[in-house]
Amino acid sequence: MSTFPKTNLVALRRKLVDRQLSAVELVQECERRMQRLNPALNAFISWDTERALLAAQQVDLSLPLGGLPIAVKDNICCLGEPTRCASRMLESFVAPYDATAVVRLRTAGAIPFGRANMDEFAMGSAGENSAFGATHNPTDENRVPGGSSSGSAAAVAAGMIPAALGSDTGGSVRQPASHCGVVGLKPTYGRISRYGLVAFASSLDQIGTLTVCVQDAALLLQALCGHDAQDSTSARQPVPDFAAELTDGVRGMRIGLPKEYVSSGNAPEVQAALQSAVDALESQGAEICEISLPHTEAAVASYYIIACAEASSNLARYDGVRYGYRASASSDGTGDIYARSRTLGFGEEVKRRIILGTYVLSGGYYDAYYARAQKVRALVARDFARAFADGVQLILGPVAPTPAPKLHAQDMTPLQIYLADIYTVPANLAGLPAISVPTPQSGLPVGVQLLAPHFEETSLLRGAAALERAWT
Amino acid sequence: MDEPRIDVAYIAELAKLELSDEEKARYTRDLEQVLAYVTQLKTWDTKDIEPMCHPLEAYDALRADTPGESLSNEAALSNAPERLDGQFRVPKVVESAH
């Protein structure tokens, strides 16, 4: 389909500062593009142009993100705007406060604009589990954009908005970025406050960015990071200048390529993308060394036990009492209200994961499943710690085993869908920062992934920028 | 853990979800398949491994107990399905005495 050319934040910012473009005109242009493309792509559930224009009129261009419109995934609270998590459960929910990430966007001068579509409660990897309809891939409308940050990735890829926030519990920023051909950054767990991010799996969830280029990812990250007293898991690490090493290149860097990631199960396009990344990094002077992450195969099993267990607990709050969907009572008793509201408010995949999570936490199964999964999680994390201790600075791998699948591929069982998360869930289990960088091949977009040690986003972005330079 | 059996009706009751017969059959099939897959967790050697419940090492995350700004009563009730006199209104939960 015909989409709009993508423009990066850095270039737009220059235009705004040079008065070649006003913040109001920029919001109007984004709205024009949303009007034009959203009927086909369904990347946005809603947007509030009036609110965005009001912010644009009062913009302070001296701020680092002054006047830049940023789309926000529908599970991140924006004061006074619907925050539905693409669920019928929260169809009428209007956020009574801003998420810390949104506060930081506003403080940096950015204009939150548009509620990006997603898989319901961030549970899915195709963007099809939305109560507001599937999002389509801008490169090929008959394909999925990936998920769960489906709308964020599709909107940036289609040029509807220059950048977007997403959330990544098991790959939900990186995988749609790969499928849509944009840059998807999941920072270290705790880098960005989760306050105001609707909880899915609290020990795995992290807000991330979807941008046109690596430099934009650094720019956004800079505004979003820092300790937040409202989130007890938010990191107390100093926030470095993330763009400091963007042009330093990878000469002399040791980058690990896990042998478990070069799998015969990968599609030819994915193997080609990986080889292209190896060539690009080597040609710039990096040393690619084969490493082993022996517990890779255990990651998906560990992840789904932990993620679903945490989800079943987190989603217990939706009971139709304080907020969210309330079924009309046909008889007395709140028990009835709880079950009826949850039954009618949650979609199929959300229920599936709540049931799995409830099961593994239920009497007699806790040790066999949940405790065991947590031990295996430690093994997965230890693989990475060893690889980094042995001297690799970054790890290279695929993002997903295939390019974007076709829409409505109903021949896949839930297990088969979960297994495709094999390359993205390890970073969440270990809490590592990771980024998806699009390869320049024609046809369907395919990204490659870089991972770094905790809080080493600066070197992660340096490696990603080197790939990008080699490919443009 | 060897033969994953899942009593979906019972689990759904714990989770406060009502399932149709068709859903029960579907979720039973899906979840037994997933559970059969995750039995592989026991093939990994986890002897002497501590369960990892958080990706970063735990640290003292307590802050000073000083009162801050809270949501106003109005904001907290703004999404209530039903409200009355500044409170959440719920259906009667206590049975009448006879």
**So what's the pLDDT on residue B1?**
44
Q: Which of residues 215-234 of A touch B (CB under 8 A)?
A: 229, 232-233
Catalytic residue at A292?
no
Catalytic residue at A6?
no
**So what's the pLDDT on residue A411?**
78
Q: Which residue of B6, B8, B11 is the best one to mutate when testing the A interface, meaning the one whose CB has the most A CBs within 10 A?
A: B11
CA–CA dist A172, A157 (Å, integer):
15
Alpha helices in B1-98 (DSSP H): 8-14, 21-38, 73-77
**So what's the pLDDT on residue A120?**
98
| DSSP symbols for A93-120 | -B-SS--HHHHHHHHTT-EEEEEE--SG
Gap from A233 CA to chain B (nearest CA, Å): 7
Residue A103: other Cβ atoms inside 10 A: 19
Written as six digits, the tokens of A185 are: 């950054």
Gap from B18 CA to chain A (nearest CA, Å): 6
CA–CA dist A223, A221 (Å, integer):
5
Q: Which of A362, A357, A364 is nearest to A316 (CA)?
A: A357
Query: Is this complex's ipTM strictly greater than 0.90?
Result: yes
CA–CA dist B81, B88 (Å, integer):
8
Is residue A154 a part of any domain in this protein? yes
- Which residue has tokens 């267990």? A309
**So what's the pLDDT on residue A412?**
86
The pTM for the full model equals: 0.96
Of A130, A148, A150, A152, which residue is the catalytic one? Answer: A148
- Asked if B49 and A375 count as a contact pair (C-beta separation under 8 A), the reply is yes
Instruction: Encode pLDDT of B19-77 as tens digits.
Output: 999 999 999 999 999 999 999 999 999 999 999 988 887 666 777 888 988 899 999 99
Cα A232 to chain center, whole Å?
21
Is residue A222 a part of any domain in this protein? yes
**Can the peptide bond before residue A292 be classed as cis, meaning omega within 30 degrees of 0?**
no
Written as six digits, the tokens of A192 are: 């960005």
Number of structural domains found in chain A: 1
CA–CA dist A12, A211 (Å, integer):
13
Half-sphere exposure for B41 (CA within 13 Å, toward CB): 29
Q: Does A376 touch chain B (CB under 8 A)?
A: yes
Provide, as residue numbers in chain B, all residues whose Cβ is less than 8 Å from the Cβ of A356: 31, 34
Is residue A167 a part of any domain in this protein? yes
pLDDT along chain A (472 residues), means of 10: 85 96 97 98 98 98 98 98 98 98 98 98 97 97 97 98 98 98 98 98 98 98 95 93 96 98 92 97 97 97 97 96 87 74 97 97 90 97 98 98 90 90 98 97 93 98 97 90
How wide is the angle at C-alpha A313 spanned by C-alphas A308 and A316, nearest 5°? Answer: 120
Is residue A88 a part of any domain in this protein? yes
- CATH label of the domain that carries residue A459: 3.90.1300.10
The residue segments making up the domain with residue A176 are: 9-249+436-470
Catalytic residue at A351?
no
CA–CA dist A105, A109 (Å, integer):
6
